[in-house]
Amino acid sequence: MTKFLHSMIRVTDPDATVAFFKLIGLEEVRRFDVEAGRFTLIFLAAPGQEGVAEVELTYNWPAEDGTAGEQYAGGRNFGHLAYRVDNIYETCQRLKEAGHTIHRPPRDGHMAFVKSPDGISVELLQEGHLEPAEPWASMENTGSW
Q: Concatenated DSSP letters for 29-43?
A: EEEEEETTTTEEEEE
DSSP 95: H
| Beta strand segments in the chain, E | 6-10, 27-34, 39-45, 54-60, 80-85, 102-104, 111-115, 121-126
Q: Report the C-alpha gap between 30 and 48 in whole angstroms.
A: 14
Residue type for position 83: Y
> What positions carry a catalytic annotation?
123
Q: Report the C-alpha gap between 89 and 106 in whole angstroms.
A: 7
Q: Report the C-alpha gap between 49 and 137 in whole angstroms.
A: 31
